[in-house]
Amino acid sequence: MYTTSKLKRFASLIAVIALMFFSSFAMAFEGDAKNGRKLYKQNCASCHKLDKKLIGPALSGVTEKYSEDWLLKWIRNNAELRASGDEDAIAIFEEYNGSVMSAFPALSDQDIFDILQYTIDGDPKPIPTPGNLSEVAVAPSKDYSKQILIGLGLLLFLMISLLARMKNTLRLVNGQDPVSIIDEAGWFWGRLINNKVFVTLATIIVTVAFLNQLYWFLMSIGVEQNYQPEQPIAFSHALHAGENQVDCNYCHSSARHSKHSGIPSANVCMNCHMYVDGTEIIDDAGNLKYEGERSPEIAKIYAAIGWDAEERQYIEGYEQQPIKWVRIHNLPDLAYFNHSQHVNAGQLECQECHGPVETMEEMYQYSELTMGWCINCHRETEVQFEKNGYYQDFHEELTEKYHGEKITAEKIGGLECGKCHY
C-alpha cells in the first residue's frame, strides 16, 4: 500500500528544491512522484531500476545528466531522436549493444515529468518513529460482559440469601424452626425429580439436544469450509488478483479448458517475477517491506526454477525443485468436477464458488463443497443458452416443456447421479 505522509511530502519538496540548486541542468518541471511511481512500474520497471543496471541503465540521477527537453524526446520516441543524429542518443544506444527501447508516444509531458520526479525522489524511505508510539496510543478495547455477568450473579445470590433470610425471619416470627437454604433446595429438587412429567420432558430435551449436536457434528465431518492451510510461499491473492487486477485465468489458465483449474507452473510466475523481485514492495506503514532486498517469498520461485537474480538468467543444468502447494479444495474421488464446464460452458464467475479471492491475503476454502451445496446451485442456476449453438434445438424444446419457467441446470439433468458420479 502506498501512503505518503505530510512530512514525506515536505522532505521531497526540500529535495526537489535542493536538486534544482545543485543539478547541472536546471529542472523547470514539477512532477508528482506518486503518480510517477505508478507509471514507472507500468512502463519502465521491466527494463530499468533506479539504482542499478538492468536491461537499460539505472535511472537514478538521469535528470542530472540530460536536459529536460532531451529526456522528453528520448522517452517519447528514442528511435526518432537517434535518427535525427543526436550524439548522446546514439552513444547510449551503442553502450547498451543496440538493444532497442520501446517508444512511449502515449505519455503526456506531465506523465514524463512525474516519472522523472520519481527517479529523483526514489521509493519512500522509512520514517524514524520514536519508540512504539502506536501501541501506547491505541488502548485495547475491553469486553465488560463477563464482569456484568459476574455482578448479576452476585446480585442474584444476594437476593436469594435475602429472601431465605426473610423467610426464616417470618418462620421465627410464626414460631417455626428456621430452614437452611440447602435443605430447602434439597426439598425442591426432591419434588422435581419425583415429578414424572418433568423427568420425561427433561429427558426428551436433553436427548434431542444431544442428538442434534451429534447430527451436526457428524455432518461436519469431511466438510473443510474455511480450511486455510499454510502454503510454502506466502502468496497473496489480494495483492495479485485484487490490487494488481491480474485476471484469474492468467495463472489458472486451464480452468477454461480442463477439469482442473491448474496451479500455475513456476515459469508462469516468472513472466512477471523476472522483473518484479520484491525490492520495491511497500508495506502499510509506507516502508520498504524488505528494506530494498529481494522478497524471500519471490526468491522461493527463483530457487524452484533456477533463476539467477543477480545475473538475470536461468542457471544452466539447475536441478529444478517443484513447489509443493497444499491443496485447499479437495473433492472426493467419487465426484467428478470439471472447471471448464462451469467456467466456460456455464459462464460462472470464479468467485461464485471460491468467494472474494481478490480480498484474501491467504487463500481459504470459501464454500462448503458438499453435495447439498452443489445441488442447491444446480437448482437455482439458469442454463446459459444464449449464443451457445449446442443448445440451439434443446432450448425451444425445453421452453415448451417447462412452459416458460426459468430453465435451471436441474431441468437439463443437472441433478442426475451419473452426471457427477461415474
Q: Which residues bind other proteins (CB under 8 A)?
A: 221-222, 224, 227, 229, 254, 257-260, 262-268, 304-305, 320-327, 330, 333-334, 336, 338, 340-341, 344-345, 387-394, 397-398, 401, 412-413, 416-419, 421-422
Which residue, 268 or 288, has its beta carbon nearer to other proteins?
268
State the minimum distance, in angstroms, from the CB of residue 298 to other proteins. Answer: 15
Which residue, 80 or 224, has its beta carbon nearer to other proteins?
224
The answer to whether the CB of 270 falls within 8 A of the CB of 301 is yes
State the minimum distance, in angstroms, from the CB of residue 225 to other proteins. Answer: 12
C-alpha cell at 206: 436433553
Rounded Cα distance between 298 and 321, Å, is 14
Rounded Cα distance between 133 and 151, Å, is 35
Rounded Cα distance between 418 and 34, Å, is 57
Which residue, 310 or 400, has its beta carbon nearer to other proteins?
400
Q: What is the number of residues in the chain?
A: 422
State the minimum distance, in angstroms, from the CB of residue 172 to other proteins. Answer: 53
Rounded Cα distance between 63 and 15, Å, is 13
Rounded Cα distance between 110 and 81, Å, is 20
State the minimum distance, in angstroms, from the CB of residue 356 to other proteins. Answer: 22
Which residue, 265 or 359, has its beta carbon nearer to other proteins?
265
Which residue, 42 or 265, has its beta carbon nearer to other proteins?
265
C-alpha cell at 270: 516468472
Supply angle C-alpha 327, 333, 338, rounded to 5. 75
Q: What is the largest CA-CA distance in the chain?
A: 124
Which residue, 173 or 334, has its beta carbon nearer to other proteins?
334
State the minimum distance, in angstroms, from the CB of residue 69 to other proteins. Answer: 46
C-alpha cell at 332: 472426493
Which residue is associated with the grid cell 415448451? 400
User: Among 343, 347, 341, which Cα is nearest to 385's?
Assistant: 347
State the minimum distance, in angstroms, from the CB of residue 339 to other proteins. Answer: 8
Which residue, 29 or 227, has its beta carbon nearer to other proteins?
227
Assign 3-class secondary structure to 232-275. CCCCCHHHHHHHCCCCHHHHCHHHHCCCCCCCCCHHHHHHHHCC
Q: Which residues of 345-376 are buried (b: 16+ CB within 10 A; e: fewer)?
A: ebebebeebbeebbebeebbbbbebeeeebee
State the minimum distance, in angstroms, from the CB of residue 337 to other proteins. Answer: 11
State the minimum distance, in angstroms, from the CB of residue 302 to other proteins. Answer: 12
User: Among 42, 40, 76, which Cα is nearest to 58's?
Assistant: 40
Phi and psi at 191, nearest 5°, equal: -60, -40
Which residue, 165 or 259, has its beta carbon nearer to other proteins?
259
State the minimum distance, in angstroms, from the CB of residue 316 to other proteins. Answer: 14
Which residue, 6 or 327, has its beta carbon nearer to other proteins?
327
